[in-house]
Amino acid sequence: MEEEKPWALISEVGGDLGYLEELADIVKRHFQVVCYKDFLQNPELHGSRIQAVLSWKYHPAAEPSLLRLLPSLKVFASGGVGVDHLDVPFINSLGVKVANTPGVVSDSTADIAMGLLLASARKILQGHQIATDPKTDHIPQSLMGVEVTGSTLGIIGMGDIGYKIAQRSRGFEMKILYHNRTRRCATDEHAVGATFCQSLDDLLRTSDFIIIAVKLTPETVGLIGPRELSLMKPTATLVNISRGQVVDQDALVRALRAETICAAALDVTHPEPLPRDHPLLRLPNVLITPHIGINTYSTARRIVQRMVDNALAAVRGSPVPDEVKPQ
């Protein structure tokens, strides 16, 4: 039976870039796997067998030099929603399909967005540091946060993740505004109490908290720059769970230093991680997490299972459920 399973290339099992054992087991139920390091030691042995690459945490990367060593490759299955790291037209030109895993990451990413918003607004990290500091003998008056309940939330990008953020925000009785390329139907808007802003400028001027949940495309690179930051309230907080390149980070540093805006909470930066001397790391009104939006056990299992489902469909010649087409 083992010999009948198709072959797949993965990063590794364990390690910082590899699959947890339980996730690797999901792949091994359906594929014979070759780890990247083992493949590089003998590409001739494995290259012609491999029909699927299952890329986890961007590894293995879809480098042309690798793909050309895989003449039988049928699919490059990427874990996660974003495909900005993939040259889809080039991969397709090799006769290889590309797949991602939309939907399964939405809940955990929406959760981290709300977590960042709350942690920044209520100074939870600073509170922890004060509470655990051996020198602390009183609670400073400076540990005052911003009220979340009843505030105005602006969501930039109302796809699946943005919509789930809106659903969560209702529990805080927030007024929800959103800006999107296309307006949601009236039923969707009514279900979460969201109001469409045709103008991004209007959303920026009005919101107390702004969450960016757009895909990274040529149109969204630098979407939030000096002009957009200047439109925000001086009491506003910017939350980014999209991609680092969507925000002009130099402009963000200037805005935070000048108190043009109140604070920023970021699960994404560019690059990742930031250089250790980057000014964002030293600002007291910035909260940064290392791109952990999808890092839950449940989400990881769902991602890997979806990668496997997509890869099996391609190997069998069936329609790939989450095939990514060139834009």
Give the separation between CA 237 and CA 289, rounded to whole angstroms: 16
Residues 46, 291, 302, 306: which is the catalytic one? 291
Is 271 within 8 Å of 249 (Cβ atoms)? no
Catalytic residue check, 291: yes
The Cα 113–Cα 214 span in angstroms is 13
Q: How far apart are CA 92 and CA 83, in angstroms?
A: 13
Residues 6 or more apart whose CB falls under 8 angstroms from that of 14 comprise 20, 21
Dist CA 112 CA 117 (whole Å): 8
Beta pairing class for 175-179 and 194-196: parallel
Catalytic residue (one of 46, 179, 243, 306)? 243
Query: Catalytic pick from 22, 257, 272, 316?
Result: 272
Specify the DSSP class assigned to residue 145: -
Instruction: Calculate helix-pair angle for 106-121, 160-170, nearest 10 degrees.
Output: 50
Give kind and range of the element (H or E) at residue 237.
Answer: strand 237-240
| CA–CA dist 59, 300 (Å, integer) | 15
DSSP state string for 48-103: TTEEEEEEBTTBS---HHHHTT-TT--EEEESSS--TTS-HHHHHHTT-EEE---S
Cα 101 from Cα 302, distance rounded (Å) = 9
Catalytic residues: 243, 272, 291
